[in-house]
């Protein structure tokens, strides 16, 4: 027994070469973080494979853990990305019937329009921007 080398054993490793699995709030590692935690640190996984997995609700839900030292800085928002995001949000916030752009997403999938157009429920005037009337001088 004296001639055998001591080996550091990870108690969370399943032993078959797969990723370590931690229970909820049991990871306790300063060098691992979820995607959400990386985003709060203004980092991104950067193409690395997950280093571990954290499980909750008896294994029904899980999240991947990534190494913080291999994470890369978050990519800055470019003007093209910002314009694309604004177009996408405008589509989700604009009623096709009355052309009002609301400050929240409207139920287009279920109702197809805003509540006022759907069933006559009056909308708060401070919750939307009225679509400007088309300028006919520009069409000439």
Determine the pLDDT at residue 2: 57
What are 22-79's pLDDT values in tens digits? Answer: 777 666 667 888 899 999 999 999 889 998 888 887 667 888 999 999 999 998 999 9
Determine the pLDDT at residue 17: 57
* Residue 92's pLDDT band (cuts 50, 70, 90): very high
Determine the pLDDT at residue 39: 92
d(CA 93, CA 5): 65
Q: b vs e for 65-102, b when ≥16 Cβ sit within 10 Å of the residue's Cβ?
A: bbbbeebeeeeeeeeeeeeeeeeeeeeebbbeeeebbb
* Residue 132's pLDDT band (cuts 50, 70, 90): low
How far CA 140 is from CA of 131, 132, 137, in Å, comes to: 21, 18, 6
Question: Is the pLDDT at 13 greater than 70, yes or no?
Answer: no
């Amino acid at each position: 027994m004296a001639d055998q080398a001591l080996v550091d054993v990870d108690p969370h490793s399943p032993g078959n070469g797969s990723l370590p699995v931690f229970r909820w709030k049991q990871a306790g590692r300063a060098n691992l973080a979820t995607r959400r935690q990386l985003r709060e640190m203004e980092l991104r996984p950067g193409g690395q494979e997950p280093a571990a997995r954290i499980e909750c609700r008896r294994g029904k839900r899980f999240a991947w853990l990534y190494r913080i030292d291999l994470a890369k800085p978050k990519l800055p928002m470019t003007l093209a990305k910002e314009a694309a995001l604004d177009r996408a949000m405008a589509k989700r916030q604009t009623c096709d019937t009355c052309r009002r752009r609301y400050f929240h997403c409207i139920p287009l999938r279920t109702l197809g329009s805003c509540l006022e157009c759907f069933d006559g429920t009056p909308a708060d005037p401070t919750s939307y921007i009225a679509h400007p009337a088309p300028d006919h001088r520009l069409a000439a």
